Amino acid sequence: MQIKENNIMAKINTVLFDFDGTIMDTNNVILQSWQHTFRTVEGKERPREEILSTFGEPLYVTMEKKLPQISVEEGAAIYRGFHYDHFTDLISLFPGIIELLEELKKRGIKIGLVTSRLRHTTEIGLNKFDMMKYFDSIVTCDDTEKFKPDPEPALVALQQLDAKPEETLMVGDSLYDILCARGAGIRSALVGWALAVSEEEKTGKDAPDYIIEKAEDLLEIL
């Protein structure tokens, strides 16, 4: 586990988790959904790295940037059609997540989920692994006007949990999560299995407060 220099440990009683790429391995279904969309619209796939660079963005934001030749509604319909058909079969949990959530519950930690995903598929994923019971708050893109990296989603979760920013940690896999946390006055932890964060970004001006290599490393921060 890496810790930012001069980071002062404080009592944490609330943990906010991102969904995609943090607790749930949705990388494959996202990549395949984008490639299906590119094949449908442009007749060919795009480099994997180009798709990875968009991880953490709301779908409509990425769609507008990547496929300006069609409406975001049309593009989203193509993407979501494939995504919904394959979502349940292609997702899995990252190692140690259930055990971590169970231990946080035992310790009386308040747990929130803050995601740019739609509530419908978020709940499908959580229900597949019987995980709804772990979360005291779930904030999706259906619940806010602004999205990560804006702090609004995290602030909504704090309000729902009656939690203080200085007593909260946000765990994610992208710079959108880190910037969202920072804007809300929350400390951040980046998961070591993140695909969309470069080595330079891990130590640069927007570096997270912590980097955890395994799910259980989070317990060392608390």
Mean pLDDT of the chain: 94
Residue 170's pLDDT is 98
User: Is the distance from CB of 208 to CB of 184 less than 8 angstroms?
Assistant: no
Q: Is 86 exposed, middle or buried (0-12, 13-18, 19+ CB in 10 A)?
A: middle
Spell out the domain ranges in the chain: 2-25+92-221, 27-90
User: Is the distance from CB of 91 to CB of 128 less than 8 angstroms?
Assistant: yes
Please determine, for residue 56, whether its predicted confidence score (pLDDT) is greater than 90: no
Architecture of domain 2-25+92-221: 3-Layer(aba) Sandwich (3.40)
pTM above 0.95, yes or no: no
Residue 201's pLDDT is 86
| DSSP-derived secondary structure letter, 132 | G
User: Is the distance from CB of 97 to CB of 23 less than 8 angstroms?
Assistant: yes
Tell me whether domains 2-25+92-221 and 27-90 share a fold: no
Report the share of the chain in percent with pLDDT over 90.
Answer: 89
User: Is the distance from CB of 26 to CB of 91 less than 8 angstroms?
Assistant: yes
154-209 pLDDT, tens digit per residue, is 999 999 999 999 999 999 999 999 999 999 999 999 999 999 888 888 888 999 99
When mean pLDDT is compared across 95-99, 201-205, 208-212, the lowest value belongs to 201-205
Residues with catalytic function: 18
DSSP string, 153-188: HHHHHHHHHT--GGGEEEEESSHHHHHHHHHTT-EE
* 3-class DSSP state of 117: coil
Q: How far is CA 89 from CA 26, 82, 86, 151, 155, in A?
A: 10, 12, 6, 32, 33
What is the rounded distance in angstroms from the CA atom of residue 149 to the CA atom of residue 132? 25
Domain 27-90 has CATH 1.20.81: no
- Candidates 166, 129, 128, 172; CA nearest to 153 is 172
